[in-house]
Amino acid sequence: MRTAEETGKRETPARTVASRIGGRPAEEAPGGRLTSANPARLEEAVAEVLLGDASTFVEACRAAREAQGEWAAVPAPIRAQVVKRIGRLVEKNKEALARLVTREVGKPYAESLGEVQEIIDTCDFFTGEGRRLYGHTVPSEMPDKQLFTFRVPVGVAAVITAGNFPVAVPSWYLVPAILCGNAVVWKPAEYAAAAGDALAQLFFHGGLPEGVLNVVQARGEATFEGLERALGEGLVDKVGFTGSTEVGSRIGELCGRHRQSPCLELGGKNPLVVMPDANLDLAVEGALFSGFGTAGQRCTSLGTAIVHESVYGEFLSRFDRAVREAPVGDPMREVLYGPMISEKFYERFVGWLELVQDHHTLHGSTGTGRITRDNPRENFLGDPEAGLYCHPTIVAGVTGEDELYRTETFGPIVGVAKFSTFEEAVELANGHGYGLSAAIYTESAREALRFRERVSAGMLSVNNSTSGAEAHLPFGGNGKSGNGSRLSGVWVLEQFTRWQAMNWDFSGRLQKAQMDIPEL
Ligand code: UN1
C-alpha cells in the first residue's frame, strides 16, 4: 500500500458520520461501526460510520412525529422557500457533493454532477409546487351546499434508499415529502453514508427545522426491525423504499399488515428493442450507456437487447466494438464506468459469469471477470487493482429460458436476444415480469406507438436508452419493479399527501345525501 508521501498527495481524512435525530449527530454506535471506503481506492476510507440500531430508528420516528405538526402548520409557500434555499445551497456545493458521491460510490464524476443536478431540478420543481398544492371545488347534488377537497400531509414518512444514487433518488422522496408538510426519517445505504449525511446537512443549512428530517445510519436488518416496531407503535404513516425486489416485497408485506401502501421502487430487467429499420449506431450508443453506465448498477440499466434477426449480427458486432473501445477505470477520469460500488455487487457479477460462460459466447472485452494486471483491459484508465473493476460483458444468444433474461444482475453484463416477429419482441420485452423501463429503436412512429400500447413498463423511451429520468416525469414501475407508485413531478404528491374531502352546507337544513335530492 502506498502512503500519502509516496503518492505525493495529501489524504483527505475520513469523516465520522452518525445518525442525526433532531439535527444532532448521535455519539454512540449501538449498531456497531463500519468504514465506508472509496470503491476506486479500497484502501481509502471515506467515512467512519457510527451505526444505530432498531431503537435508533424508533427514536427517530418519535422525533419526526413530534416535529411534524408544527411543520405542517407552516404555509406551503413558506415551506417551499426552504426547499428553494436547499436547492440553491446544493447548487453552490455542486462540485463538492459530486466529488463526494464519486469518492464514495465510484460513479464517473460527470454522472455524479448529473446526479446532483437532479436534486437541484427537484428543488426547483417543488419550489413552484408549494404555491400550487391545489384542491378542488366540487358541485354538490344538493342546493346551497358546496364540496371541497384539500391535500393534507400524510404525517411521518420513513424513507429507505439505495447507494447507487445516494443523493438524487433520496431527494425524489425527501423534497416533496417536506414540501407537503411531512416529517421524514431517512435511512441511506450504509455504503453511501457520507454522501447521505452531506445532503442532510444541506437541508439543515437551508433552514429545515430540526426534527423534520432525521437520518438513521444503520444496517438493513436493524432498519427493518425498527420499521416493524415503529409501524406497530403507529409512528410511521408512509414508507418509501428504493432497492431490490426481494427487500421491497418484504417491506410491502410488513406495510400491508399495518394497512399501509408504501411507495416501492424496485429492480428492473429493462429491455431495448432494436427493430429492422433502427438507426443502429444510435441503438448501440443507447445500449452502451444504459447497459454499462454506472457499471450496470442502476435500476434502469439495460438488461437485454432484443434485436431483430435481420440486424442481429450487425448490431452485435457494432455493440461489441463499442464496448471494447469504451474507456473503463478511475471514475475521476472520462470513463464509461468505474468500479463496482461494493463487494456484494462484485460477487453477484462473478456469480452471473459462472452461470453463463459455459453456455453462451461472451463479447465486449478481452477478458472476463475482474480487471487486474494479469487479466487486463486495453482501454483502462488508472490502476485496475485499486478497486473492484469488472470487464464489461455482452452475453449473446440469450433466450426467454435463460436466468439472465429473467433476473436483474446489477452489474456490467448485458444479454442480447434475437426475435423475428413484433409479437415475439413484445413477449420478450414483458415476459420477465419486471416493468420499470423499456426502449425501442425504430424510425416508424406506428411501431413505436404499437410497442407503447403493449409494453408493461412504467417508462418507455423511443430512440433513447432505458436510463435517464427527468425530475418532472413520473418515475416508477409495475410488476416486480414496484407497486405502481410513481415518484417525481406532480405524481409524487399522491404519495405524500392524502385527499381530505369537506362538504359545507349553507341551506340551514339537514340535507341528506341521496335522500334529499331535488327533483326536476
Ligand atoms: C435508480 O437506479 O434507482 O433514470 C434510479 C435513471 C436515473 C435514476 C435511476 N436518473 O437512470
Please name the residue whose Cα sits nearest to atom 8 of ligand 1. 469
Ordered DSSP codes for 413-473: EEEEEEESSHHHHHHHHHTTSEESEEEEE-S-HHHHHHHHHH---SEEEESS-S----TTS
With the most atoms of ligand 1 within 8 angstroms of its CB, the residue from 265, 290, 297, 475 to mutate is 475
**Would you say the CB of residue 114 lies under 6 angstroms from ligand 1?**
no
Q: What is the pLDDT of residue 278?
A: 98
Label residue 181 exposed, middle or buried (CB < 10 Å: 0-12, 13-18, 19+): buried
Q: What is the pLDDT of residue 88?
A: 98
- The verdict on 91 and 199 lying in the same domain is yes
509 in a domain, yes or no?
Answer: no
- The verdict on 458 and 491 lying in the same domain is no
Measure CA of the first residue to CA of the last residue in the chain; give whole Å.
89
Q: How far apart are CA 495 and CA 73, in angstroms?
A: 19
- Point out the catalytic residue in the list 48, 129, 265, 408: 265
Say which residue the cell 327533483 belongs to.
Answer: 519
Reduced DSSP (H G I as helix, E B as strand, rest coil) percent helix, strand, coil of the chain, to 5: 40, 25, 40
CATH number at residue 85: 3.40.605.10
Q: What is the pLDDT of residue 256?
A: 98
- The verdict on 244 and 293 lying in the same domain is no
Q: What is the pLDDT of residue 13?
A: 65
149 in a domain, yes or no?
Answer: yes
- The verdict on 166 and 196 lying in the same domain is yes
**Would you say the CB of residue 242 lies under 6 angstroms from ligand 1?**
yes
Q: What is the pLDDT of residue 303?
A: 98
- The verdict on 53 and 152 lying in the same domain is yes
- The verdict on 262 and 276 lying in the same domain is no
476 in a domain, yes or no?
Answer: no
Give 145's contacts (C-beta < 8 A, 6+ positions apart): 503, 504, 505, 506, 507, 511
- The verdict on 228 and 104 lying in the same domain is yes
- The verdict on 119 and 234 lying in the same domain is yes
Set of cell numbers at residue 7: 503518492
**Would you say the CB of residue 465 lies under 6 angstroms from ligand 1?**
no
How far away, in angstroms, is 437 Cα from ligand 1 center? 10
Residue 292's SS3 state is helix
Please name the residue whose Cα sits nearest to atom 3 of ligand 1. 299
**Would you say the CB of residue 300 lies under 6 angstroms from ligand 1?**
yes
- The verdict on 190 and 161 lying in the same domain is yes
- The verdict on 433 and 341 lying in the same domain is yes
With the most atoms of ligand 1 within 8 angstroms of its CB, the residue from 111, 117, 300 to mutate is 300
ipTM: 0.92
How far away, in angstroms, is 325 Cα from ligand 1 center? 25
Domains identified in the chain, total number? 2
265 is catalytic: yes
Set of cell numbers at residue 240: 418509501
Q: What is the pLDDT of residue 7?
A: 42
With the most atoms of ligand 1 within 8 angstroms of its CB, the residue from 264, 299, 472, 485 to mutate is 299
Label residue 256 exposed, middle or buried (CB < 10 Å: 0-12, 13-18, 19+): exposed
223 in a domain, yes or no?
Answer: yes
**Would you say the CB of residue 467 lies under 6 angstroms from ligand 1?**
yes
Give 375's contacts (C-beta < 8 A, 6+ positions apart): 367, 368, 369, 391
CB atoms within 10 A of CB 70: 12
471 in a domain, yes or no?
Answer: no
Mean pLDDT by 10 residues, the chain (520 residues): 40 85 93 96 96 98 98 98 98 98 97 98 98 97 96 98 98 98 97 97 96 98 98 98 97 98 98 98 98 97 98 97 97 98 94 89 84 94 96 96 96 97 98 98 98 98 94 96 97 98 97 88
Give 425's contacts (C-beta < 8 A, 6+ positions apart): 273, 275, 306, 308, 419, 451
504 in a domain, yes or no?
Answer: no
Domain, as residue range, for 200? 15-266+485-498
**Would you say the CB of residue 189 lies under 6 angstroms from ligand 1?**
no
**Would you say the CB of residue 164 lies under 6 angstroms from ligand 1?**
yes
Q: How far apart are CA 46 and CA 1, in angstroms?
A: 17
